A = this chain, B = another copy of it.
Amino acid sequence: MDETAPQKGTVTQRAIERIKGMIAEGRLEPGQRLPTERDLAAQLGMSRSSMREAIRALTVLGVLEARHGSGIYVTQLEAGDLLETFGVVADLSRGPRLVELLEVRRILESTATALAAARITPDQLAEVEKHLTAMNATDDPEEILAHDLAFHREIAMAAGNDTMAAILEGLSSRTFRARVWRGYQEEGAFARTRREHAAIHRALVAHDPEAARAAAAAHVGEVEQWLRSQLGE
Contact = CB atoms under 8 A, between A and B. Distances in A.
Contacts of A103: 161, 163-164
A79 to B, nearest CB: 6
B91 A24 contact: yes
Nearest to A98: B163
Nearest to A165: B100
Contacts of A23: 92
A97 B79 contact: yes
A91 B21 CA distance: 9
A61 B77 CA distance: 17
Interface in A43-96: 49, 52-54, 56-57, 59-61, 63, 77-79, 82-83, 85-86, 88-89, 91-94
Interface of A, helix, strand, loop or mixed by DSSP: helix
Contacts of A143: none
Nearest to A78: B97
A100 B162 contact: yes
A173 B86 CA distance: 17
A167 B83 CA distance: 12
Given A24-B175, A92-B24, A61 B79 contact: no
A12 to B, nearest CB: 6
A20 B100 contact: no
A92 B82 contact: yes
A91 B20 contact: yes
Contacts of A56: 12, 53-54, 56-57
12 contacts: A20-B88, A20-B92, A49-B49, A53-B56, A60-B60, A78-B97, A86-B86, A97-B163, A100-B162, A101-B163, A104-B108, A107-B164
Give 9 closest A-B pairs by Cβ, nearest first: A100-B163, A57-B60, A53-B56, A82-B89, A100-B161, A107-B111, A57-B57, A53-B53, A104-B164
